[in-house]
Structures are given as structure tokens and as C-alpha cells.
Amino acid sequence: MTFSQIYLDSVSTNAVLTLSPAFILLLLIAGLCYSRFRCHLNAVPGPLINSISSLPRIWSIWKGSSHLDDLELHRKYGKIVRVSPTTVSVCDLALFDAIYGISSQFYKAGFYEPCRFYDEEGLIPDPLVLGDKTMHTRMKRNAANAYSLQGLFQIEPLVNDVLRDLLDHLDQVYVAQKKTCDLGECMLYFAMDAIFTITFGTNLDFVRKGDTKGLCKQVRDGLPYIACIGQIPWAHRFLLGNSFVAKFFSGPSDSLAGEIMATIIDQRAAAEKRISEDEDPSAPCTFLMRLLRNQSKNPASLTDREINTHAFGNILAGGDTTSTAVRAILYYLIRNPKVMNQLVVELREAGLDKQGPVVSYREASKLPYLSAVIREAMRLHPSVGMILPRGVPLTGATLVDEKGKKHFMSAGVEIGFNPWIMQRDPDIFPDPEAFKPERWIDADADNLARMNRAWIAFGAGRHSCSGQHISMLEMTMLIPSMILRYNMKWADDAADISVENYFFTMQKGLKVKLEARV
Ligand code: HEM
């Protein structure tokens, strides 16, 4: 090597060393500008920091309070807010059909990536996560009668049994022994037993034994990951989406999945036997039984894998959602004695107190005040408190807001309504933070139509909740049965509830004393 070569090499190395911080800074600025201007979102209002980095949003979600932070952002910036470089939160009804409407091309995109599971045949076709609209339509259609309103009367006796068990347990442990009851936990266990029984005809006796297999804990522990990594879905494949990484974190989930699968297989055998014995078609009918009947009538309509997926989906979707709603209803009733009294009067006038420990769904579902109480509690405390995001189609989309302003966005943007925010829109729900069931009774037809449209606790459009009728049946039987049987008082030593939002807005600390109502 010559002297000149050595000299030139050292000059260029020095230059690179001196330039590299500047170069890195330049790259950083270019990256931030790219984030700020990407997908044509630079004109969408929102905090500057959120438009250039996903970190503020992930931090807000990680704290469990993104519903409150997002509400503040909407109050400050209006009905359309950019909450991260590629995410837009909206609460403008004029945009509703474009995003969720039946002919909308918006689709379930990246946020759902951490909830997507794969087996040897590929993506497990859980309707919640399906971006493929054809497959989604097939899945919805092949289980439609198992989730339908008409099927409810065959489910009612199953829920009745679970409710009797719950009331027996509450009587024996909390009324007789005057213990403080963590009603929130009891409601989760009720919801788990109910959804297991509705789906399979049997349950794990959560109400008496608790979460002995750690199923609820596993779901709860997984939610912060799903909520945060859903903001940067590309990261999932390097984290739990990577089989090597996942191996280190997998607990007893395999054995649990195995247990649920064994229940499916057991119940399947029993159900097949009953079908072959030509059972009375009006007898109580589990979800699994209904799907097996569908399959026996038309085998091509439903595969075994699809049946298992629906059954699994129920267990994962039916516990925390329903129990969060029930907690909200009971919380607002206990905190608002006037509303509680008015509801008791309505139930007694309808003669539901003479029916025995469990009220009938048919009778309770006719009561307007009960229905208003449930709706209002789920308005103020929807079980899902994050955006229900949809991906902008490849062609991009121009959205026209209620003021007629056009917003063009290109593919890569995730946009959606958050029930927690939409249901607090003061233009639609005046005095939005107040618990006022009568607003659902007093509203004129036009306002009621707007309120119903803005009430999205069960989601929206083609992906709206499949289990909503099942859940409403559970709540419509549970709430009157509970409040006709017990006086519920806030436990003296208990603080107020706290709420953690990792997609589900779960409450903690619903501690009450139960006394027999006379
Ligand atoms: C109060 C109780 C419940 C609430 C508030 C609730 C809420 C929701 C919401 C907001 C969605 C839409 C999610 C999204 O767009 O990303 C959804 C979807 C879904 N829920 Fe529920 N849910 C409840 C109970 C249930 C129950 C009991 C079941 C099962 C029996 C169930 C099964 C499903 C399924 C399968 C989907 C996916 C539907 C689709 O994507 O087509 N849910 N639910």
C-alpha cells in the first residue's frame, strides 16, 4: 500500500466519521418528514408528535388509558383526529357508511395481526380477524342461525341453569356469610360458565371454582400485547408471531386449548348421537349442536375446522365483553339509587318478582326501562374502548365529512370509530357523561334514530358482533334476577372502580355487600 493510498483512506474514514452524526440526523429528519406526510394525512388535525411517531400512541395504550387520551384529543382537535402516523380516529356519522357500510371496500387490516392464528391449513378463519370478505361472508352465513334471535328461546333454559347456580352461590357465600363480594369477578365467572354452556352444554364451574385453569388470566395477560403491537403490526412477526420467540412465552395455553378441544370432541359425540336419535327440535339446543345440524343437512356448507373455530371464538369473545357490560350496568345502578328503584318498580309491576329466582327472557325483554338502563350503561361504558379500525383500500379513498370537507387517504391508513368516543358525542347525547336511561325513552323519533346509529357498543357493519343477541339474552335475564333478589350496597371500605383499557375496558374493584331484598 502506497503512502497516498493510506493518506486518502484515512481522509475518507475521518470524513465519514465526522459526517455520520449529520448523516444519521438527516436520515432521522427524512424519516420523520416521511411519517408526517405519508398517506396524505398531513392535513388531518392531531398532535404533531403523534403524526411523526407511533410511540406516543403506544405509550397511551400501554398505560391502559387510551380511551381517555383519545377523548381529550377529539375534544381538542374535532371529529377527525390523526392519532398516529397511519391511524385516524373519527366520530363523524357522515363517514360511517364509507368505513363500515355493507358495500365498503375498507377491510380488517394490520391492527388484528396479533390476533391471527395459523394451523397447518393456514390462517384460522376466525370472523373477527378475517380481511378476506368472501371467507368472512361464508363464516358468518354458516353460523347465522346459531347466533340468531330466533335461536334464543332454545338457549334460554341453558342460561337459566347457569343463573340458578350463580344465585345459589351468591346466597351461600355472600348473603349468608355477609362477606364482601367482588361482583366484577363473579360476573366474569358467570359469563364464562354461560358461554361454555351455551356453546357446549357443559361448563368448567367457574362460578364456584374460579379460574382454576388460568383461562381468563391468559386472555387478560395477552391483551396489552395485542393492543400495543396492533399499532405496529409489522413488529409482531419478530415478537410473538415468531415461533422461536413465542416458544419462550408460551405457558399452559396448549393444554388449555387441548382441554377446550377435548370438550368440543366430547360434546360433538353427544350431539351427533342426539341428532341420530331424532331429538325434539324444540328442546334446548347448544351452539355446537346447531352447527352440527347445519352440517348434517348440508355437509359442504361447514367444515369441522370451521365449527371448531366458531366454538373457540365464542369462548374468547364471550367472557370479558359480557362481564364488562354487566359490571357497567350494575355499577351505574348501585351508584344511582333513583334509577335502581325505578327499575325495581318496573320489574314488580310486570310481575317478574313472582316468577322464581330467574326471570324469563321473553317477559324481561319487553320492558322499556330495563332496556334503556342496559343501553345507557353500555353507552357510557362500552366493553370495547379502542378504535375498531379498518384499512383504506388499495385504491385509496376520499371521505367527505359532515361539513362537506373532503379527505383523501391512501392505502396504509387504518381508520375507525371508537365506541367510547362516538357514544359521548355531545351533539347526539347532550350531557354525555351523565347516566340518564330516560334519554332512550324521551327522545323523539329523529333523535332516537341518530342515537341508535351512534350506539356502536356491538361494533358496526359486516363485522358487528355475532354474539350480540346471545349476550343481550344473558344480560336481560341476569340483571332483573339479581336486583329483584338482592339489595346491593357499595362495600364501606372499597374505593371506586378502576378501568384498564386494552381493547376491552375492564373494570376492577366492584366490591359490594349483598343482602336479601324484602
Ligand atoms: C356485551 C357483550 C359483547 C360486546 C360489547 C361485544 C362487542 C363486540 C364488538 C365491538 C365487535 C366488533 C369488533 C371489531 O369490529 O373489531 C365484536 C365482534 C364479535 N363478537 Fe362480540 N361482543 C359481545 C359479546 C359477544 C359474545 C357473547 C360472543 C359469542 C357468543 C361474541 C362474538 C363475537 C364475534 C364472533 C365477533 C366477530 C364478528 C365479525 O367480525 O364478523 N361477542 N363484538
**pLDDT at 5 (0 to 100):** 54
Q: Which atom of ligand 1 is nearest to the CA of 383?
A: 5
**pLDDT at 18 (0 to 100):** 61
Domain boundaries, given as residue ranges, for the chain: 1-40, 55-516
Please give the distance, rounded to the nearest whole angstrom, from the Cα atom of residue 211 to the centre of ligand 1: 22
**pLDDT at 168 (0 to 100):** 97
Q: Which atom of ligand 1 is nearest to the CA of 287?
A: 30
CA atoms of 452 and 445, how far apart (whole Å): 10
What is the signed CA dihedral for 473, 474, 475, 476, rounded to 10 degrees? 40
**pLDDT at 284 (0 to 100):** 84
Handedness of CA 197, 201, 204, 208 (dihedral sign): positive
Residue nearest to atom 14 of ligand 1 (CA): 388
**pLDDT at 370 (0 to 100):** 98
Residue nearest to atom 20 of ligand 1 (CA): 465
Ranges of the chain whose pLDDT falls below 50: 1, 3-4, 6-8, 11, 252
**pLDDT at 26 (0 to 100):** 86
CB 509 within 8 A of CB 499: no
Q: Which atom of ligand 1 is nearest to the CA of 326?
A: 1
Please give the distance, rounded to the nearest whole angstrom, from the Cα atom of residue 324 to the centre of ligand 1: 13
CATH T-level topology, domain 55-516: Cytochrome p450 (1.10.630)
Q: Which atom of ligand 1 is nearest to the CA of 310?
A: 35
Residue nearest to atom 30 of ligand 1 (CA): 467
DSSP state of 404: S
DSSP state of 413: -
Residue nearest to atom 41 of ligand 1 (CA): 463
CA distances from 202 to 188, 338, 472 (A): 17, 38, 20
**pLDDT at 16 (0 to 100):** 55
Q: Which of 321, 422, 472 to mutate to test the pocket of ligand 1 (most atoms within 8 A of CB)?
A: 321
Residue nearest to atom 1 of ligand 1 (CA): 322
Residue nearest to atom 36 of ligand 1 (CA): 465
CB 378 within 8 A of CB 407: no
**pLDDT at 405 (0 to 100):** 94
CB 192 within 8 A of CB 506: no
**pLDDT at 255 (0 to 100):** 56
Name all residues whose Cβ lies below 6 A of ligand 1: 127-128, 140, 195, 313-314, 317-318, 321-322, 325, 383-384, 388, 457-459, 463, 465-467, 470-471
Q: Which of 465, 474, 475 to mutate to test the pocket of ligand 1 (most atoms within 8 A of CB)?
A: 465
Please give the distance, rounded to the nearest whole angstrom, from the Cα atom of residue 470 to the centre of ligand 1: 10
Cell of 9: 483512506
Residue nearest to atom 32 of ligand 1 (CA): 467
DSSP state of 124: -
* pLDDT tens profile 465-478: 999 999 999 999 99
Please give the distance, rounded to the nearest whole angstrom, from the Cα atom of residue 15 to the centre of ligand 1: 59
Q: Which atom of ligand 1 is nearest to the CA of 472?
A: 1
**pLDDT at 355 (0 to 100):** 85
| Helix locations, 121-252, DSSP H | 133-142, 144-147, 152-170, 183-200, 206-209, 215-229, 243-249
DSSP string, 417-477: E-HHHHTT-TTTSSSTTS--TTHHHH--HHHHHHHHHH--TT--GGGS-TTHHHHHHHHHH
Residue nearest to atom 7 of ligand 1 (CA): 458
Please give the distance, rounded to the nearest whole angstrom, from the Cα atom of residue 316 to the centre of ligand 1: 10
Q: What are phi and psi of 15, to 5 degrees?
A: -60, -45
Cell of 22: 449529520
DSSP state of 135: H
Residue nearest to atom 23 of ligand 1 (CA): 321
Please give the distance, rounded to the nearest whole angstrom, from the Cα atom of residue 133 to the centre of ligand 1: 17
Please give the distance, rounded to the nearest whole angstrom, from the Cα atom of residue 466 to the centre of ligand 1: 6
Please give the distance, rounded to the nearest whole angstrom, from the Cα atom of residue 464 to the centre of ligand 1: 7
Q: Which atom of ligand 1 is nearest to the CA of 325?
A: 1
Report ipTM (2 d.p.): 0.99
Strand bridging mode 397-400 / 390-391: unpaired
CA atoms of 307 and 312, how far apart (whole Å): 9
What is the signed CA dihedral for 216, 217, 220, 225, rounded to 10 degrees? -130
Q: Which atom of ligand 1 is nearest to the CA of 130?
A: 40
Please give the distance, rounded to the nearest whole angstrom, from the Cα atom of residue 112 to the centre of ligand 1: 14
CA atoms of 375 and 496, how far apart (whole Å): 22
DSSP-derived 3-state class of residue 89: strand
